[in-house]
Chains A and B, each alone.
Chain A
């Protein structure tokens, strides 16, 4: 069932040229050098430490590591992280 859903969305993106982030529930990550990371469409914080931020996304996590982290702003599906960013990685759930 979920597979069919995913396919349907893919089709929507391809044929109707809708923005993929909105349709496919994917996080949109904007970075400003290594100072800021702006993440939209996430599903909440899993872990937050001085040197690590892990965010829930539909099928896994986004993990950002670095140092002296600070969440500048937090809204239901948006987040602005400030600090020195070293890695942005995707972890799948399994």
Chain B
């Protein structure tokens, strides 16, 4: 019986042998070391018997050499079942569709879970994520890698102190800590305000401390502007002078300052510019071989910029050994330009202003400029500019016990 079960797995056939004394034929088979079972005489000259699938060829050859005729009556076992399944096209197509849909479904973002945030922020994160293309129903290979999203999210939402994104199969799990912006009452130690730069004072706003300078005073770097010692005031009685009354001097001292800025502006040059024409091509990368699967058109841009993005593919939880590669070909063109000296000058000044703004921050106000020196060398305009700026020059300086006694 056990043998029968194994036979079922590897497949067996029932054959009908026709000829004089058919049992002799089976005897010959058995002499050839073939296993035969269920032999039955069905007629005067016919006999049926079962044998393994792999022995069919041998028995056919033997039948050809003798005068017996062979006919396969029945095929049984798993191999034949598979064969029948393969013969049924609709079943195969169904299976194919099932695998394809399973594959597609495993490459779709099903859930985005956010934990550790209040409801309000959660909504905001959801919205931002949607902007990145991370939402339930999005295709997985259109989504950036978690670490990239993480960085972007931290950059776009300043309320987040930290956020961790984990991709678990078809769902994204977000965990994070909200940045609680606490207006910390800074316990400022007693301080003076001193000048950070040379300049002519324009306006003084003191909220704490005693002002030591007046408008239109010229101050040098390091000069005391606002004292933190309230007793520096000359109007106070002698008696009270003995006690220390130190505060943290705060305020703004707006002064005119001057800067010399050197800028170099080329008079001509070459630029690359994207024309906006774009072709996307998709490849299936299997073992480092790219097989094109979408957009077979030839890219015939004279100049192009190629960007390659690789998207890993998943089947259920397993990462497949091939990836979807997206190539974005963007057409670019070379622009060569020339500038007149005058435009170069304007650009130079604008560039100098920008440099200063970057250096001084948004509060500084640029008042005027003057070209000190101007030269043309190797198709470049070299400018030295003298710029007048209005800015806050107050800089805190902590009061050290000893110095205040002096």
Instruction: Identify the A interface with B (CB < 8 A).
Output: 44-45, 47-50, 69-76
Contact = CB atoms under 8 A, between A and B. Distances in A.
Given A44-B30, A48-B39, 11 more contacts: A45-B24, A45-B26, A50-B41, A69-B41, A70-B38, A71-B38, A71-B39, A74-B35, A74-B37, A76-B31, A76-B33
A47 B26 CA distance: 11
Interface of B is mostly: mixed
Contacts of A50: 41
Contact of B37 (A44, A49, A73): A73
B350 interface: no
Given A49-B41, A50-B41, A69-B41, A44 B35 contact: no
A75 B39 contact: no
A72 B26 CA distance: 13
B35 A48 contact: no
B326 interface: no
B36 interface: yes
Interface of chain A: mostly helix, strand, loop or mixed: strand
B27 interface: yes
Contacts of A69: 40-41
Interface in B13-38: 21, 23-24, 26-27, 30-31, 33, 35-38
Contacts of A76: 30-31, 33
8 contacts: A44-B30, A44-B31, A45-B26, A50-B41, A70-B40, A71-B39, A75-B35, A76-B30
Nearest to A68: B40
Nearest to B23: A48
Contacts of B47: 48
Contact of A45 (B3, B27, B35, B40): B27
Contacts of B36: 71, 74
A71 B37 contact: yes
A50 B40 CA distance: 7
Interface string B29-73: 011010111111100000101000000000000000000000000
Of A48, A49, A50, A75, most buried by chain B (CB within 10 Å of CB) is A48
A44 B24 CA distance: 9
Given A74-B30, A74-B35, A45 B23 contact: yes
Contacts of A74: 26, 30, 35-37, 39, 49
A38 to B, nearest CB: 13
A45 B23 CA distance: 7
A70 B35 CA distance: 15
Q: Which 10 A-B pairs have the closest CB atoms?
A: A71-B39, A48-B23, A45-B27, A74-B36, A73-B37, A44-B27, A70-B40, A45-B23, A74-B30, A50-B41
Contact of B30 (A48, A49, A70, A75): A75
A48 B41 contact: yes
B27 A72 contact: no
Nearest to A55: B27
Contact of B40 (A44, A71, A75): A71
Contacts of A44: 27, 30-31
A36 B10 CA distance: 27
Contacts of B26: 45, 71, 74
A76 B31 CA distance: 6
Contacts of B35: 73-75
B24 to A, nearest CB: 7
Contacts of B24: 45
Most buried by A among B38, B41, B47: B41
Contacts of A45: 23-24, 26-27
